[in-house]
Structure 1
Amino acid sequence: MRHRCCLILLLGLLGCIGCQSDAAKDKGADDDGDSVSGSDSSGVSGSDSDGVPGSDSDGVSGSDSDGVSGSDSSGVPGSDSDVGDCTDSDGCVDGDTTPCAHFVSPLDLDPTGVAIPDTNYLIPEGAIFMSTTGDDANNGAHLDAPVRTLNRAIALAPAGGTIVIRAGVYRDWYHADGGGMYKIVPKSLTFQPYPHEQVWFDGTDVIPASSWTQNGDDTWSMPWSTPQFCNGEYYARPIAEQDTSAANSGPCYHADMSSDPSNPMAGDPQMAFIDGVALRQVATKAEMAGSATAFYYDHTNKVMYLGVDPAGKIVELAVRPVAMVLGGTPTVYVVRGLGFRRYATSQYHSLTGAAIYLGGASENDEPAVIENCVLAHNAGGALSMRARGGIVRHNAMVQNGYTAMGSNGSANKTEEAPDGLLIEGNLVSGNNTELFGTHCNRSCGHAAIKIAHMDGFTVRYNVFENTHGTGGGFWCDLNCKDGVMIYNLVRNNGGSGLFYEVSSDGIIASNVTYNNRRGINVTADNVKIYNNTTFNNHANIYIYDDDRNAANDKGTGPIPDTRNIDIYNNILYGGSTYPLVAQQGPRDAASDPGGLNTGPNEFMTGLDYNSYYRLEDERQVIIVWQDQTLDGTFHNFAELQALHPGLESHGHDVLAPEPDFFVDFAGGDYNVRSDSAAWRSATNLPSEVAQALEVSEADVLNRGAICWPGSR
């Protein structure tokens, strides 16, 4: 059994909702980085979850967009610019700068995944043109002589060239002749739309009503074979057998991931749509008969069934497992301003685990870029991104069956240069619709974005919201290093909002996290948690250590113990009975020989200048500090300091009938009020935190988040 040591901050800080004890996990994430040979992918599965079940979030929040992003003439948002002046609500001294002013905002992106950001990219000389009305007999070199397919456009474009795509829906993918399997795009290319046009790549085909046979039992059927699914191994093992596979080898999903009883067919990438509305896949024909909202696929006999007459309806079935695999070496790829939807991607880590595999490696470490795109309504994953120098900017990655994005870095390899992955300005909303990971115990990767083994990354100014089931927001796991998570809005996720697990040297600063299972979740060493606003999570800040250590390494690389955690300048509010807790369960000799793991007494190097708010009528725990000695559940600072002198000597413990620190809590304005105790009362930032946040160490700041998507 695994026993976790944890520290959870309640209203604010250390908090744990009881020790979790779960089955030992093998943590065997794939750590291939960029190479696309074999079956490499993001490698984000095979890793631990936070172990805390959460309820599904139903709605997709976020404001509707007109699909128009603010871009310059090149169509590239988020370029460096002068930083704007601070306003009073920023809490900076007059004359300082607000660091968020130059970030591209994700709030203009469409959470429904319908509208693609408007762009106006320059068309370079020598571009190849592609159109739904084109002809592959053309050479594509002129606007009035476009080609029709990706295969032809990629064949004609020179290395380093650009493919410009006219408006329309392309039911297409880059694949071997005859349609059997994907091919790897072998040269550097840029893919972009014609200015101000909406381009969709779609993984489905329209199936005419004449293809279906009425069976006389309220069902309609047709032969349907998809051997290209699941990396070409779809029929290698019956779907049901993958639930119990001891080898956990797919090919469509990991054995412990498709286990939610309300959706037993989650792991099958088949999809069906009627008049644009997705149908629910059921496990038996009897469940489907007569239903206008369900479909059944007979995997053994290769027959598709509907429960409604297809006559007069637009019936679409998923047929393509991936849009493009971009992975040659040396190569540089840019994908911008395009939409990718309804591909039959799988949960299992392979090259068909996402609609776009963006890999490759350049000789000069030029970045692979995906920006201003929409990746939506795919069966499993949406984007698999190479780590080294990758840029993921201003994309709507929404309502996908599994993760919006996965990426695997090089921390377990011999490369000396950091990965340098940048994820900024994205709307990541409503993912894990298939409820993957509900009862996972060894292959957990269910989050809006899950990355692993990443050596150097920045995640800033994104919105992570409404991940279904027990899925989290952003999660970096297994020997991540030098991770920077700043200026994000993280809300309404079934799992942890921000999770830095079994990793080292992180900065988690100026994020707003609320209505998650855990707001900020850390099991790592050398992490600085500064100026976050976190509230109404079951645990606002959760710090723990688990049983993994150097003596029982399960092949996951270096195993840091949780220590050297600094927690300063945060605002924590809990409107429920859950505390911000610190906790450790009892250690046993089998999992922790020699007592190598750490507990709350060893976790932190600093805990101060945090502001906690509680309702006057609630006797709520601030901090649960549960070590082997079970030495404390603290309701106020006096109880805490009696056992741990010096902690929170500059903290605020406020009891009031309504939230005291914010301009308009009920209205969603979480800027700090100028008459509150949190106004300009933060301690100075360490140099590395100030540098990451682009503020001065000398700035006099408010407590809580400095800025975030939607702040003033």
Structure 2
Amino acid sequence: MLRPPISQSPITSPTASAARPQTLTRLAIATTLGALVASGLSIAPLPAASVPASAATHYLADSMSRTSTTGWGSPETGKAYSFNAKDRFSISSGVGAIKLLPGKHSFATSAINQANAKAKVDVSFDSLPQAGSMYAHLALRHSSDSRYESSLRLTDGGKLILEVSKTVNGKKSVLDSHVIDDKASVGKAYRMEFAVTGTASPKLQARAYAGSSAPAWQVSTEDQSASAITSAGSLRTGGYLSSQAAKASGLHMDNLLASSAAAVISELPEDFVPRDITPTLAPTDNHDAEESVPEATPDLSPDSTLPSNALYVSTSGSNSAKGTFNAPVRSIGTAISMASSGQTIVVRAGSYHETVKIPSGKKIHLRSYPGEKVWLDGSSVLKNFSTSNGRYTTAWNHDFDSSPTYTRGAKDNTEEAWGFVNDDYPMAAHPEQVWIDGVAQKQVGSLSAVRAGTFYVDKAGNKMTLGTNPSGKSVRASTLVKALSIRADGATVNGINVRKYAPSVPDMGAVTAEKPGISLSNLTVEDSATTGINVSAVNNKISNVRIQRSGMLGMNAVYADGLSVNKLVSTANNAERFNSSPVSGGLKITRSRGITVKNSTLSSNKGPGLWIDESVYNSKVLNNDMANNTGHGMSLEISAKAIVANNRIINNGGNGFKLNNSNDVQIWNNTISGKNRALNIVQDKRRGANKSDPGHDPRQSFPDATMPWIIKNITVKNNVLSNSGGGNAIMAVEDFSKEFTAEQMKISLASNAYHRTSTTSPKWSAVWANAAKNPHVYTTLAGFQKAKGQDKSSFEVTAGSVLTSGNELAASVTSKAGKAGNATALPSSIASLISETAGSKRVGHYSR
């Protein structure tokens, strides 16, 4: 009889520092014991581990201190489990076991019937999957086809990733993720914790760790979408094994606990910024659809929705293979070289370290396999460090271009306030990037400046030196410049994610769409050294794309007539802190015609959210959120003919909406709120007829009659204009060239809500241009209405805020807006663009 070397003391206290390691040791040993039992050995039961008592209400508590050959039975506290496949569940040696079959779900559900809850469970994996991934799941608010879920995903390479997802009507989207371990060990036990709180905008928090010290929440996000799951539901736990796996595997689970969530509601990190997570931003291992009885068999043939002549790529393939489903090639580049124009290339799950070029003349359709997650990864592992004076050095043979402008080799601009690189962040344009255990390190300019959390590149000596001890840690650095260069008309890229590439500023971006008719959809681009995506040709489409943590700019477009941007999330960009001008932030579009940006979220960027600049004609900005950016929420500059409707522009560091030198602009039903001027309309000395003023579109004849660069014909109706504590005015119209009055500019305002926090903050409700004389200023809306006859149907609100916690309009606005005459009927030309009813009356944005 085999008895494992484990302490016989039961675990009884949640605060005892020795308790947690003991529990995890029991679980790790159980993985090994499971294999031994299968070989015929008899195992003495482990001592029971009681679930710790807590001040919180327990909805379910299960120490697994019983024996069951089929199913898990009933927990000590809570309702009995139900199963989709009871024979895959068992309990022995005081630990629960789950058998995982390729392509199958295995799950147990307990009806806790709660909306706000936190849950935790100890998990270990019996083996690495032979291919694809293996999952351990912990879900809350579960119903028949919807849930929020925290998962530990173990890849065939040994990487362990914590993922938080939402499933609605059977469709799953991964909301956020965090790498726990780059090389996880089989049998190592991890505690997974998950909390869901709130109804208007549910907060989701998750973490996973080994040992006794719980880290801060590793994933924290908020679901502000219309499809947020708000109702109470069950707890569900279990696992899934990729259909690519050749044989069954399993999980072990212990100490499952679900309790009230009150204790974790205030545990969001101080720098947490909510964001809209409506889009399915990236493809994921698609085990959303629950199998029916009898169960489906693992996929032995390609998905029937894929073209029969598709070429296949797999991390397990060979570049000498034929590229069929059963004989895939290893690299995407090889598949492209084999493909004919118009052919589809299907990439199986995994990480691909390569630079992909779709050449001119090859209309390739590049996509991920349905339900599988694909990454182009520009980073490599660094190792073989030597130690000296508390610093850690390794060989570095990559020479990246550090040009600070779009002209390779040129020095930075010297004109005041127009240089790319901020003097406080001199290494911004250097594309080298390093991560230690997933944490980005800061580049410094000399060896003597190396400290913990920083690194230095000695180009002459071909060395890289770190300030943090890399021993026992995952160290990765960007070693490739570009991910995707798309140079074929009509090419499409769907579900090919991109991370950790090192483009310099003149490389334009990690992904570049360089020809007409290109479509990018359902992908994430993250951790690019400068810019994530660049579009430089006409009639391109960006749909359901997420760009995050780019060094300078999320996305840039130039000469991009007909550009359609739909469901873009561009967040946390300008991580290297380039100057806000001439380029930074979430999305900048220049020298283009007929562009649309809609249903997108541009948030938490260091710089502006959306910047339309330099002769952009006929733009539509519809149904977007621009929030928490350090610059202006939106800037429309030296351009013409624009519709800005039904946007939320909230809590930005600059003006809410700054309108410079642009004509024929319609601004309808926006909510613009922040600690500065809500709407700032500014004319300066630049003129479209002056060839020496930069910003003309060289494709147009000069002078371009459509681009006078003079403020004229501006309509502002049904907007909430809120200054919540900063700047000196709510709304301002100014002419620094001192040529025009606001009347000559033909500014027309009506049916707007002006918000201030007190009768003296801000100082003025309105500033009104007066040509060469000082502008008129009005301390109240009533004074402005009386003096200028503008905004007669508008009203002023004095309150702490005009927004709810979910950024919808508070009663202080909606009650007054509902009165007769306080809103203008929505014209059909605007209503059709924002999918609202023509003739409806509302002040501010329509509810999301």
Q: Same fold (TM over 0.5)?
A: yes
- How many angstroms apart in 2 are the aligned matches of 1:446 and 1:286? 30
State the one-letter code of the partner of 1:167. A
Matched residue SS, 2:390: coil
Map Cα deviations across residues 429-450 of structure 1 (whole Å, 9 max, x no partner).
Answer: 1111111114x4xxx0112001
Map Cα deviations across residues 40-61 of structure 1 (whole Å, 9 max, x no partner).
Answer: xxxxxxxxxxxxxxxxxxxxxx
State the one-letter code of the partner of 1:393. S
Alignment partner, residue 421 of structure 1: 563
Map Cα deviations across residues 95-130 of structure 1 (whole Å, 9 max, x no partner).
Answer: xxxxx999xx9624589x997999999321111111
Alignment partner, residue 433 of structure 2: 271
> Cα distance, 1:679 vs. partner?
2.5
> Cα distance, 1:531 vs. partner?
0.7
TM-score, with structure 1 as normaliser: 0.72
State the one-letter code of the partner of 2:595. F
Alignment partner, residue 794 of structure 2: 651
Matched residue SS, 1:677: helix
Cα distance change of structure 1 residues 156 and 252 upon mapping to structure 2, 3 Å threshold: farther
> Cα distance, 1:292 vs. partner?
3.5
Cα distance change of structure 1 residues 106 and 577 upon mapping to structure 2, 3 Å threshold: closer
Alignment partner, residue 678 of structure 2: 540
> Cα distance, 1:534 vs. partner?
1.1
Question: Does the alignment pair 1:165 with 2:165?
Answer: no
> Cα distance, 1:394 vs. partner?
1.1
CA contact under 8 A between 1:496 and 1:521: conserved in structure 2? Answer: yes
Matched residue SS, 2:825: coil
> Cα distance, 1:530 vs. partner?
0.8
- How many angstroms apart in 2 are the aligned matches of 1:622 and 1:70? 47
TM-score, with structure 2 as normaliser: 0.61
> Cα distance, 1:69 vs. partner?
8.6
CA contact under 8 A between 2:754 and 2:781: conserved in structure 1? Answer: no
> Cα distance, 1:684 vs. partner?
2.2
Alignment partner, residue 358 of structure 1: 513
> Cα distance, 1:504 vs. partner?
0.6
Alignment partner, residue 218 of structure 1: 390
CA contact under 8 A between 2:608 and 2:634: conserved in structure 1? Answer: yes
Alignment partner, residue 509 of structure 1: 645
Partner of residue 679 from structure 1, selected from 818, 832, 842: 818
Cα distance change of structure 1 residues 297 and 599 upon mapping to structure 2, 3 Å threshold: farther
Question: What pairs up with 1:13-412 in 2 under 5 angstroms?
Answer: 66=165, 107-109=277-279, 122-140=305-323, 142-174=324-356, 184=359, 186-207=361-382, 209-210=383-384, 212-214=385-387, 216-227=388-399, 229=400, 234=401, 239=402, 249-250=408-409, 257-288=419-450, 291-328=451-488, 331-348=489-506, 352-361=507-516, 367-409=517-559
Q: Give the gaps of 5 or more residues in structure 2.
A: 1-162, 173-199, 201-224, 228-274, 289-302, 697-706
Alignment partner, residue 530 of structure 1: 668
Partner of residue 519 from structure 1, selected from 652, 656, 664: 656
- How many angstroms apart in 2 are the aligned matches of 1:544 and 1:280? 38
CA contact under 8 A between 1:116 and 1:337: conserved in structure 2? Answer: no
State the one-letter code of the partner of 1:147. V
- How many angstroms apart in 1 are the aligned matches of 2:164 and 2:744? 47
- How many angstroms apart in 1 are the aligned matches of 2:671 and 2:694? 36
- How many angstroms apart in 2 are the aligned matches of 1:257 and 1:67? 43
- How many angstroms apart in 2 are the aligned matches of 1:117 and 1:292? 40
Question: Does the alignment pair 1:693 with 2:831?
Answer: no
State the one-letter code of the partner of 1:203. G
> Cα distance, 1:494 vs. partner?
0.9
Question: What pairs up with 1:630-649 in 2 under 5 angstroms?
Answer: 630-644=774-788, 646-649=789-792
Q: Mark the structure with the bigger radius of gyration.
A: 2
- How many angstroms apart in 2 are the aligned matches of 1:528 and 1:279? 45
Cα distance change of structure 1 residues 371 and 157 upon mapping to structure 2, 3 Å threshold: same
Alignment partner, residue 629 of structure 1: 773
Matched residue SS, 1:122: coil
- How many angstroms apart in 2 are the aligned matches of 1:481 and 1:150? 38
> Cα distance, 1:584 vs. partner?
3.2
Cα distance change of structure 1 residues 573 and 129 upon mapping to structure 2, 3 Å threshold: same
CA contact under 8 A between 2:613 and 2:638: conserved in structure 1? Answer: yes
CA contact under 8 A between 1:118 and 1:197: conserved in structure 2? Answer: no
Matched residue SS, 1:630: strand
Partner of residue 556 from structure 1, selected from 695, 716, 721: 695
Map Cα deviations across residues 180-216 of structure 1 (whole Å, 9 max, x no partner).
Answer: xxx8464111111112111111111112x23x343x2
> Cα distance, 1:156 vs. partner?
1.2
Question: Does the alignment pair 1:452 with 2:590?
Answer: yes
- How many angstroms apart in 1 are the aligned matches of 2:412 and 2:336? 31
Question: Does the alignment pair 1:576 with 2:725?
Answer: yes
Cα distance change of structure 1 residues 674 and 467 upon mapping to structure 2, 3 Å threshold: closer
CA contact under 8 A between 1:121 and 1:195: conserved in structure 2? Answer: no
> Cα distance, 1:151 vs. partner?
1.8
- How many angstroms apart in 2 are the aligned matches of 1:309 and 1:381? 30
> Cα distance, 1:581 vs. partner?
3.7
Cα distance change of structure 1 residues 222 and 69 upon mapping to structure 2, 3 Å threshold: farther
> Cα distance, 1:529 vs. partner?
0.6
Matched residue SS, 1:437: coil
CA contact under 8 A between 2:391 and 2:468: conserved in structure 1? Answer: yes
Matched residue SS, 2:678: strand
> Cα distance, 1:384 vs. partner?
1.0
**Higher mean C-alpha displacement, 607-616 vs 535-544:** 607-616
> Cα distance, 1:505 vs. partner?
0.5
- How many angstroms apart in 2 are the aligned matches of 1:67 and 1:199? 19
CA contact under 8 A between 1:65 and 1:108: conserved in structure 2? Answer: no
- How many angstroms apart in 2 are the aligned matches of 1:336 and 1:152? 18
- How many angstroms apart in 2 are the aligned matches of 1:371 and 1:671? 35
- How many angstroms apart in 2 are the aligned matches of 1:143 and 1:613? 61
State the one-letter code of the partner of 1:431. N
Cα distance change of structure 1 residues 68 and 666 upon mapping to structure 2, 3 Å threshold: closer
CA contact under 8 A between 2:284 and 2:372: conserved in structure 1? Answer: no
State the one-letter code of the partner of 1:384. N
How much is the aligned-residue C-alpha RMSD, in angstroms?
A: 3.2
> Cα distance, 1:397 vs. partner?
0.9
Cα distance change of structure 1 residues 372 and 68 upon mapping to structure 2, 3 Å threshold: farther
State the one-letter code of the partner of 2:608. G
Partner of residue 844 from structure 2, selected from 701, 704, 710: 704
Select the structure with the greater relative contact order (CA < 8 A; seq sep ≥ 6).
Answer: 1
Question: Does the alignment pair 1:602 with 2:733?
Answer: no
Question: Does the alignment pair 1:479 with 2:615?
Answer: yes
Partner of residue 612 from structure 1, selected from 754, 757, 771: 754
CA contact under 8 A between 1:375 and 1:398: conserved in structure 2? Answer: yes
Map Cα deviations across residues 127-153 of structure 1 (whole Å, 9 max, x no partner).
Answer: 11111111101011x222111112211
Matched residue SS, 2:638: strand
CA contact under 8 A between 1:467 and 1:473: conserved in structure 2? Answer: yes
Cα distance change of structure 1 residues 110 and 493 upon mapping to structure 2, 3 Å threshold: farther
CA contact under 8 A between 1:68 and 1:108: conserved in structure 2? Answer: no
Matched residue SS, 2:755: strand
State the one-letter code of the partner of 1:635. T
> Cα distance, 1:583 vs. partner?
4.5
Cα distance change of structure 1 residues 388 and 562 upon mapping to structure 2, 3 Å threshold: same
Cα distance change of structure 1 residues 71 and 673 upon mapping to structure 2, 3 Å threshold: farther
- How many angstroms apart in 1 are the aligned matches of 2:564 and 2:751? 30
Map Cα deviations across residues 646-690 of structure 1 (whole Å, 9 max, x no partner).
Answer: 2011111233x4446x5xx24533376896111274212344323
State the one-letter code of the partner of 1:682. A
> Cα distance, 1:463 vs. partner?
0.8
- How many angstroms apart in 2 are the aligned matches of 1:314 and 1:347? 28
